[in-house]
Chains A and B, each alone.
Chain A
Amino acid sequence: MNLLDTDALSHLQKNDRVGAVILTRLAASPDTDFRITTVNAFEMLGGAVDLIRELRRKHKDAVPGFKLLEELLDYLGGWRGRIMPYDDAADQVYRGLPPRLRQELGNDARIGAIAVVLNAPVWTCNVDDYRRIPGLIVYAAETGKRVS
């Protein structure tokens, strides 16, 4: 089992040049059981909600924002049964990280904590941040190579 971080997911969701490369790497992985976490979902949905607020604040058309929110909800439905929880064990790992690291990594530290508890590698485009988390196995999503 592998976990995906939110940045890698965004590229996959857009299917841009980077997303296409990541898709190839994921498909070529010996373990194609990829999962996400409630923290990814929190970030994605929160991002869409903030986007709607921002569009309204700028007096722009909010409909595309709501459409995006709808698509994200459908998208997350496709992950049903594959969304790993941020539970007490993950929170304990998170709280055990140095305060500075938690502050700098933000939600990535929480995703990392879930991965540590599950002993699952994280596939990310942001390897420099994730490999600062002790005990975490990190794969560079763009190369499919293990970096820590």
Chain B
Amino acid sequence: MAVGEKAMSIHLNDEDRANLERLEKRRMKPTRRQKAIALLRLAEGLTSSEAAMHAGIAREEVEAVAAEFARSGMAGVGLVEKSKTLVRLVRPGVGVQRYRLRKGATLADLVRRSKATTTCQAVYLDGVLAEETTPLHDGAVVMIVPQPKNAGVDEPWRATIPSFQDESLFREYMETLKARRHDLDADEDPER
């Protein structure tokens, strides 16, 4: 014990002690980092005992990792980086959220992960209506917006305003529109 350092007292009941002792005896699997350290040290010419010391695992584990590496490479020892798909989910009122999904993930996976509801919503993948089975690609932009089911007409952009046939009224209206263009910002500090 270091000089001046007090021992920490921990009280264990019989059950806790038994559980901890059982766990202590369990074989500890090397972590990805430990495997990487072991392989790097072996590659530098260290012995398996030295590599084991550097990695903090048993010599037998180092030898097993090295043997597996010789047989199946990085994949064999579980050191291949899993490829991921980075997707942006856009929802009005919620904003933009980024999700990292496994390669080959579909829209359904994203919906599940984000807990987004798709009831009465339209789901777009890169601006195109998409099915939930559609696979996602890296960099995809998914947008979930209310479905225009209750819209008054299917193509509202075809509607006209009868009053606009009055040329002078239309001209005056357009002038007021022009004058109000900056209305929302009139009270704001432009440097904000």
Interface residues of A (CB under 8 A from B): 1, 4, 6, 9-10, 12-15, 23, 26, 31-35, 39, 42-44, 46-48, 50-51, 54-55, 64-65, 67-68, 71-72, 75, 77-82, 84-85, 87-89, 92, 95, 99-100, 102-103, 106-108, 110, 117-121
Q: Which of B119-138 touch A at CB < 8 Å?
A: 122, 124, 126-129
Do the beta carbons of A110 and B90 come within 8 Å of each other? no
A and B contact pairs by CB, cutoff 8 A, 8 listed: A10-B174, A12-B158, A33-B122, A34-B157, A79-B152, A81-B151, A106-B182, A106-B185
Whether A81 lies near B150 (C-beta < 8 A) is: yes
Q: A31 and B177 in contact (CB under 8 A), knowing A54-B172, A89-B95? A: no
Task: Contacts A108-B181, A118-B92 given; indicate if A13 touches B164 (C-beta within 8 A).
Answer: yes
A77 / chain B contacts, CB cutoff of 8 Å:
152
Instruction: State A65–B129 Cα separation when bound (angstroms).
Output: 40
Q: Shortest beta-carbon distance, B179 to chain A, in Å?
A: 7
Selected from A50, A106, A117, A119, the residue in CB contact (under 8 A) with B95 is A117
If A1-B145, A26-B157 touch, whether A46 touches B185 (CB-CB below 8 Å) is no
Point out the residues of chain B lying under 8 angstroms from A6, CB to CB: 177
Give chain B residues whose Cβ lies under 8 Å from the Cβ of A103: 182, 185, 190
Nearest 10 A/B pairs, CB to CB = A89-B95, A78-B152, A106-B182, A14-B164, A78-B156, A50-B176, A106-B181, A68-B163, A47-B177, A13-B161
B160 contacts across to A, CB distance below 8 A: 12-15
Decide yes or no whether B93 CB sits under 8 A from chain A: yes
User: Is B56 in contact with chain A by the CB < 8 A criterion?
Assistant: no
Nearest CB on B from A63, distance (A): 10
> How far, in whole Å, are A44 and B124 apart by their CA atoms in the complex?
28
Check if B15 is an interface residue, CB within 8 A of chain A: no
Rounded to whole Å, the gap between the CB of B97 and the closest CB of chain A is 10
Number of A-B contacts (CB under 8 A): 153
B170 within 8 A of A: yes
CB-defined contacts of B87 to chain A, threshold 8 Å: none
Q: Are B145 and A84 in contact (CB under 8 A)?
A: yes
B169 beta carbon closer than 8 Å to chain A: yes
Q: Would A47 and B150 count as touching, CB distance under 8 A?
A: no
A81 touches B149 (CB 8 A): yes
A78–B88 alpha-carbon span in the complex (Å): 31
Cβ of B79 within 8 Å of any chain A Cβ, yes or no, is no
- Indicate whether B184 reaches chain A with its CB closer than 8 angstroms: yes
Inside 8 A of A54's CB, which chain B residues have their CB?
Answer: 172, 176
Known A14-B161, A23-B158, A54-B176: A87·B128 in contact at CB below 8 Å? no
Q: How far is it, in angstroms, between the C-alpha of A23 and the C-alpha of B157 when the chains are bound?
A: 8
Q: Find chain B residues with CB under 8 A from A80 CB.
A: 150-152
Least Cβ distance of B180 to chain A in Å?
5
Please, which residues of chain A bring their CB within 8 A of the CB of B184?
39, 42, 106-107, 110
